[in-house]
Amino acid sequence: MALIVQKYGGSSVGSVERIQAVAKRVYKTVQAGNSVVVVVSAMGKTTDGLVKLANEISKSPNRREMDMLLSTGEQVTIALLSMALQEIGQAAISMTGAQVGIVTEAEHTRARILHIETGRLMGQINLGKVVVVAGFQGISSARKMEITTLGRGGSDTSAVALAAALGANFCEIYTDVPGILTTDPRLVPEAQLMTEITCDEMLELASLGAKVLHPRAVEIARNYGVPLVVRSSWTDQPGTWVTTSRTQERSLVNLELARPVDAIEFDINQAKFSLLRVPDKPGVAARLFGEISRQNVDVDLIIQSIHEGNTNDIAFTVNTHILKRDEAIAASIAPALRSQPNSDEAEVLVESNTAKVSISGAGMIGRPGVAAKIFATLAQAKVNIQMISTSEVKVSCLVDATDCDRAIVALCNAFEITASPAVLASPTPESPAVRGVALDMNQARLAIRQVPDQPGMAAKLFGLLAEYNISVDMIIQSQRCRVVDGVTRRDIAFTVARMDVENAQQKLTQVADELGWGEVVLDNAIAKVSIVGSGMVGQPGIAAKMFTALAENKINIQMIATSEIKISCVVGQDEGVKALQVIHTAFDLAGSEKFVVPV
C-alpha cells in the first residue's frame, strides 16, 4: 500500500462534471489499496476572476486582503470534491491550509512554506479518509492565523511540499496535457511527450516559461527526492516522470527556505573572447558560432548585450586548452562579420587570464537577495566582475584569474560551504542535447546606460532590486567600455518579470544621480525563447544551430545568455511564437501526433 499525493489543477476541476471525474479517479486509487491526499486548485479560471474583481476596486490592492480573497477559490473546490467523493461512497474530509497546518512566512501573496504539521492529516488518513487539501494557501503562524498564498501557480508547490512532509511514495500532478512535452502544445501542436526528464532540466524549463510545473515544486522534489509524475486527468497514460539523482537527508524545518546555495565551483582555465561592434542583424551570431562549431570548439558561456547604435557586442568563453586555435578562428571570421571592409566593426579582444566562479542551488529561485549577496560578497573582496551569466539555479561570474582565490574564499565564508573545481555534468548517452524549448512572453528588459565599471556596482544595483523582492534574469554587462567624466563605464541590461518592470525602472532611476549611472531604458516588447538539455554539455554546435534557425527565419537576436544546460535568446515580442516553432523544428523535436489541448 502506498501513500500518494495527487494534485488536480484548475483545468481538471473546472466544472461539476470534471470534479466528479476526479472523484472517480481518486476512488479508483483508494480501491487499489492506496491512501490518498488530494490537493486541488480553484475551479478553472476562478483565481483570474478574483484578481480582476480586486483590480476593479483598487489599482494596488492590499496584499493581506488579496490573500483573503484569492484563497477562497480553492476552498470552494475542496468542499465540492469532498462531497463528490462522499457521494460515491468514499469517506473524505476537506481541509484548508490553516486546518492542515501549512505554516508559511508572513509574506502575503508570495509566501514560502516553512513547515507542515502532518499529525491532523495522518489522523484522518488512518481513519480511512481521503483528505482533500486546498492548494496555494497556508497560514503565517499558528498564533497569528493570517491566511497567506504562495503566489500564482502555487498548488503544485503545496502538493510536492505535502508529499515531502508526509514521506509519500510519490506525487502525481494531474493536468490538461498528457505530461511534459518538448514544448507548449498550444503553440506547437506537434510537440512530443517525454517519458522522463531530470529535475535539473525541468527546473530550467519551468523557470523559462513552461508552466506545466511550477519551478518551486520542482525545487522541493529535487531537494527532498520526491518522485514526481505529471499526467493527464482525462486519460490513463503513464505521463512524464521527473527524476532526481541524489538526496541527502534534509530537515523538514524551513522547508522552502533551506540553504539557498548548494555549491560553489570554479574553473581557472577560461579565456574570454569579446567581439565588439558586431552588426545588429539576423545571422551574425549564427555565422560566428557556426564557424566555431565547425572547428569543433565547445564554447561555455555566451552573452550578447543590447545594441548601441546599430551594433552589438558578443562575448563567449572557451577552455584555455584550445585558446590558440580559437583565437585564430575568431580572427579569421571577424572580417566576414563586418558590413564594410576596413570598418571598425567586429574587433576581437581576447583575455586569457580569466576564471569562472559559479554559485548554484535551487534555493535561489525567486529569492533575489541571494544573487545580491553574491555580488555584495565579491564587491567586499574587491573582485571586479567581467561577465555575468545567470540561470534560475546558477550565477556564474567571470573574474580576473588573479582574483579567483579571493573570490572563492569570500563566497565560501558568506555561504558557509566549501568550493570545488567545476566538473562538467556528464550527460548520459540517452540525454538529448535539447530536451525542450520554452517561451516566456512575460518578461521585459531594462538597460542601464553608463554604469561605472567598479567593484560593487552589480551589488548595489541588484541589492536595491532585491529589497523590493524583484528577481532579475539574464543579466548582461556590455563588453564595450566608454570613459565619461574620467570614469570607465559599461551598460548593464537584464530582464525582469513584466509585472515588476515599472517599479524596477522607477527605483533604479531614483538613485541614478547618487550612483552615477545614466538613463534606465525599458523595453516591454520582448520575448525570451530558450532551449534546455543536459546533453548539450560538451557538445559543440548546439548554440550555432539555434542561432541559425532564427537567422534563416530573419529573426533578430537582441540578447543571448547561456548556462551549462540552457541557451536563451531575447527576440522581439511579435516574433516569439515563430521563434519557438522554428527552433523546435530545427532540433527535430516534432512528433507525428498533433495534440489538441481540451478547452
Ligand X SMILES: N[C@@H](CC(=O)OP(=O)(O)O)C(=O)O
List contacts with ligand ADP (CB under 6 A).
9-12, 41, 153, 175-177, 180-181, 183-184, 186, 210-212, 436, 597
| Closest CB 101 distance from ligand ADP, rounded Å | 24
* CA nearest to 201, candidates 184, 215, 191: 215
Q: Which does 210 bind (CB under 5 to 8 A by kind): ligand X, ligand ADP, none?
A: ligand ADP
**Residue 56 CB coordination number (10 Å):** 9
- DSSP assigned state of 555: P
Q: Binder to ligand X among 64, 152, 338, 482 (CB under 6 A)?
A: 152
Looking at the Cβ atoms of 136 and 494, the one nearer to ligand X is: 136
* CA nearest to 166, candidates 5, 1, 31: 5
Q: Which does 136 bind (CB under 5 to 8 A by kind): ligand ADP, ligand X, none?
A: ligand X
Looking at the Cβ atoms of 207 and 377, the one nearer to ligand ADP is: 207
Between CA 540 and CA 440 the distance in angstroms is 26
Where do we find the cell 572557451? 318
| Closest CB 579 distance from ligand ADP, rounded Å | 15
| Closest CB 136 distance from ligand X, rounded Å | 4
Q: Binder to ligand X among 82, 124, 148, 155 (CB under 6 A)?
A: 155
Between CA 15 and CA 45 the distance in angstroms is 11
What residue number has its CB nearest to ligand X?
10
| Closest CB 240 distance from ligand X, rounded Å | 17
| Closest CB 239 distance from ligand ADP, rounded Å | 11
Q: Can you say whether residue 485 is alpha, beta or left, with left for phi > 0 and alpha for psi between -120 and 50 degrees?
A: left
Q: Is the dihedral of CA 349, 351, 352, 357 positive or negative?
A: negative
Looking at the Cβ atoms of 12 and 563, the one nearer to ligand ADP is: 12
Largest CA distance in the chain: 83
77 interacts with ligand X by CB under 6 A: no
Q: Binder to ligand X among 4, 5, 6, 9 (CB under 6 A)?
A: 9
Looking at the Cβ atoms of 157 and 305, the one nearer to ligand ADP is: 157
| Closest CB 247 distance from ligand X, rounded Å | 25
**Is residue 96 within 8 Å of residue 78, measured between CB atoms?**
yes
Q: Binder to ligand X among 97, 101, 138, 153 (CB under 6 A)?
A: 153
| Closest CB 155 distance from ligand X, rounded Å | 3
Q: Which does 77 bind (CB under 5 to 8 A by kind): ligand X, ligand ADP, none?
A: none
Which residues have C-beta within 8 Å of that of residue 7, sequence separation ≥ 6? 38, 39, 40, 41, 135, 155, 156, 158, 159, 171, 172, 173, 174
**Is residue 203 within 8 Å of residue 215, measured between CB atoms?**
yes
**Residue 341 CB coordination number (10 Å):** 7
Written as one string, the DSSP assignment of 203-257 is: HHHHHTT-TTS-HHHHHHHHHHT--EEEEESSS----EEEE--------STTTTS
Bridging pattern class, strands 137-139 and 170-175: unpaired
| Closest CB 596 distance from ligand ADP, rounded Å | 11
| Closest CB 92 distance from ligand ADP, rounded Å | 21
**Is residue 315 within 8 Å of residue 274, measured between CB atoms?**
yes
Restricting to residues 10-49, name those near ligand X by CB under 6 A: 10, 41-42, 47
Q: Which stretch binds ligand X (CB under 6 A): 147-155, 216-224, 237-245, 531-539?
A: 147-155
Looking at the Cβ atoms of 11 and 198, the one nearer to ligand ADP is: 11
Q: Which stretch binds ligand X (CB under 6 A): 151-159, 315-323, 370-378, 386-394?
A: 151-159
Q: Which does 212 bind (CB under 5 to 8 A by kind): ligand X, ligand ADP, none?
A: ligand ADP
174 interacts with ligand X by CB under 6 A: no
What residue number has its CB nearest to ligand ADP?
9
Which residues have C-beta within 8 Å of that of residue 542, sequence separation ≥ 6? 433, 434, 531, 533, 536, 567
Restricting to residues 44-73, name those near ligand X by CB under 6 A: 47, 73
Between CA 310 and CA 559 the distance in angstroms is 14
| Closest CB 560 distance from ligand X, rounded Å | 30
Q: Which does 154 bind (CB under 5 to 8 A by kind): ligand ADP, ligand X, none?
A: ligand X
Between CA 389 and CA 367 the distance in angstroms is 17
Q: Give the binding site for ligand X (CB under 6 A).
A: 9-10, 41-42, 47, 73, 135-136, 152-155
